[in-house]
Amino acid sequence: YNLSRITLLREFCLAVGIQLGLRDYVFESAHRSSGSTNVRQSFYDEDIMNLFPVIKYVSHHASDAYQHFSRGQAEIAQGNLSEGYELLSEAVSLLTHVYGPLHPDIAACNRLLARLTYLMSDHQTALVYQHRATLIAERVHGVDDAALIGEYSH
C-alpha cells in the first residue's frame, strides 16, 4: 500500500487521543552497518505532549417523534388543525423523553404549536408555547445567535 507514514501516524494519534510534539520523525527501524543491527527508536517519552480522551457516542434519533411531527404538519396543511395539534403535542412529548427538555427540535415543535394555537384563536396558549420555544432556543443556541432574532419577532 502506498501510504504516507506521517499520515498514518496522524490518523493513529487522532484515533487513540495522543498529541505528539512537532518534529521530523524517522520511521526507518534498522540500519545495518558492518554486520551489526542498530535499531533506532522512532518515538521517545518526551515526544508525547498530551493525552486527550476520545469520546465515542451514538446520536439518538427519535424516529417516532419525527413521524408524528411530519404527520402533524401534513394534517395542518390539509386543514385539520385539531388533529395536527394532537400529533404535534405528542411529538413534543416524545422528543422531550428522548432528548431531554433542551433541544432545537423541541423549540421548533413549540414554535409550530404556538402558530397553530394562535390560528385556533387560543392566544394565551400561543404565548405560552412561543415563550417556551424562545427560552429553549436561547439556552440551546445562545443569546447571540442570529436565529434567535426570529424567535423574538414571533
Q: How far apart are CA 64 and CA 90, in angstroms?
A: 10
Residue 73 CB contacts under 8 Å (≥ 6 apart), including other chains: 84, 112
Diameter of the chain measured on Cα atoms = 94
* pLDDT tens-digit series, residues 35-70: 556 667 788 889 999 999 888 877 778 899 999 999
pLDDT at position 89: 96
Could you tell me the pTM of the whole model?
0.62
Residue 135 CB contacts under 8 Å (≥ 6 apart), including other chains: none
* pLDDT tens-digit series, residues 115-139: 999 999 999 999 999 999 999 999 9
